[in-house]
Structure 1
């Protein structure tokens, strides 16, 4: 139920290919409002098709913001996204805001605040990655316990990406990641009437959508986008270089993989990503209403 006199915000989260963008557009056309991107890959330019950004026709039917506005050579943080959202909140008067995307950390920061963690250089991150490559899971966790015991307790399992992040922050800043996380800034929707939802389609339906999506991407401009990205000669550690499809299409362009193999590998990677997203939303947003479309 909407609270009278309060500005409205709709938060639409969900895994990739769950129909979030279509739902957001339908709401914006029916009820008005500004669609705000909450996907960490769709903020970057160059990769519209690969990251499944809304097409030009959709963008013309309703106002969309924070889509493709960040240069590919940039490391765009959650804090920077939240700062951009603050500007939108202050500049759109009383219009409803419709946040849509699959990046759980963006939604978490929006509602609960965020930890302002300094940027860590790629060199430090690479050094940590090389160090933990030769360690098994128990050894990795023990290393983290020595440098950030609280982060190790929160992590519990030796997820390489999160473990690397915690170690790199400690070594780059001298402060533990957990200390930054416990020192949060405020979220961005104080005073809003907030409606939350997680799109949670049937697993088989989602798998079919993912398979069809990447086949269409490959034929609809994804190859040309990856070629354009490669011409920029960017640091391989940049977030945009890790977008699903970049490596797989690159392997096909280099003759390392056949076309069908590249599509299959990208589809598998997308399935795995969607599974991680669903797990994250289930664990962190378990009280949000579920909706299947």
Structure 2
């Protein structure tokens, strides 16, 4: 429990430091884009390589990939139903706020310091999650809202997926597990050097993107969206931990995933589907803070 609290406090301090750097104009929001590129292209793939190395492909990893797909589909359906009578922009806002998990930039950095054995399960879930976030969710959102903003062909979706270094690394490591190939220790030691900065850079980037101002009318909307997301998330976490016949480490991984914040791509799609950048930015920031609190509390209760 002590390690969990220390990790959470450390994350808060890094986020706060980055936010103060932004307020003090030492750094700007655009600098977060540079850090994001370093994370997505260097530190996160390195973290995934270390987490997946020597893992044997089994039915549980395939189950996690399937759950990454299934949970998104269920949440899209629930989100579309809840605000089905609202205008299309609000419908899309509800859908994208419920489906999609920020795993690479938040959940993996959160667990890598004290719970690295969970990374293969979390990463497998994220493989299914990525298939939805980058392609499946916009397609379903189009059908539910009657818009045609996110519809893309199969080739374009596949190209988009493999443009993501994170998704490509997942696929490569899963293929290596299939053929039972492991990365040598001397190579792995170099990879570990790159991976060591992932958690710090991820939280620092979040601090640069942190938004704390919003209109009163939008604040009410954000409260409704977050209440719905975390109510569903807590129910998913409880069902995963107490009802699923899976090893404890897998059930614990599912608890953390259920409480993960809104995916970055989902917040971008909110704007694409007609919502304000200030609203989606504040919603994303609030989700990250709440997820940090809920995930810390869940681990403190379970471990």
Q: What TM-score do the two structures reach when normalised by structure 1? A: 0.28
Which one has the largest radius of gyration? 1
Structure richer in strand, relative to its length: 1
Structure richer in helix, relative to its length: 2
